Amino acid sequence: MPSFDIVSKVDLQTLDNAINTVKKEITNRFDFKGSHVEIELNKKELVLNIEVDSDMKLGQVLDVLVSRTMRQGLDASIYDLSKEPYQSGKVFKKEIPVRNGIKQEDAKKIVKMIKDAGLKVQAAIMDDIVRVTGKKIDDLQEVIQKAKEANLGIPLQYINMKS
């Protein structure tokens, strides 16, 4: 029976390259000369820590971060930018979690979206993967199309297509 998996994985090497590119661009920019900017990726916890002098510079760093990430081929929605920055002394700090894997509630939304589409496929949640099986490959391709159109707020990849 044909099947495929819906996942949300981040390539750590590509993410690291994007962050190194951001660091390099920030150090070369004239408006950041002599100012405190620190960007650090915690690879174990998948959290990006940013420290800057002012709130305005934080916004500029985030703009550069999103544009460089997209140029590296990653989806900009891998960053959870919902947390507000906080001030610690003279610096502004922001912790940005990197989304890796599909959370349980997001997986349930995906399964519900597939069932509401009325296609003859089955969707099963397996940890942080949603496996979709069906009798026809055309139905599976339609599920991929529906998932792309759904705009769930998380970056999705479609892997392990088996016929």
The model's pLDDT over 72-109, given as tens digits with 9 standing for 90+, comes to: 999 988 999 999 999 988 999 999 999 998 999 999 99
* β-pair type (129-134, 121-126): antiparallel
> Where are the domains positioned within the chain?
3-8+101-162, 12-97
**CATH number for the domain formed by residue range(s) 3-8+101-162:** 3.30.70.860
pLDDT for res 161: 86
CA distance 162 to 137: 9
Into which CATH architecture does domain 12-97 fall?
Answer: 2-Layer Sandwich (3.30)
Full DSSP string of the chain: --EEEEE----HHHHHHHHHHHHHHHHH-GGGTTS-EEEEEETTTTEEEEEESSHHHHHHHHHHHHHHHHHTT--GGGB-TTSPPEEETTEEEEEEEBP-S--HHHHHHHHHHHHHTT-SEEEEEETTEEEEEES-HHHHHHHHHHHHHH--SS--EEEEEE-
Within this chain, domains 3-8+101-162 and 12-97 share the same CATH topology: yes
Task: Please report the pLDDT score of residue 131 as a whole number.
Answer: 94
pTM of full prediction above 0.85: no
Structure tokens belonging to residue 98: 């990197």
Q: Which of these, 73, 83, 88, 75, lies nearest to 36 by C-alpha position?
A: 88
Residue 126: band (very low, low, confident or very high) from pLDDT cuts 50, 70, 90: very high
Residue 21 has pLDDT above 90, yes or no: yes
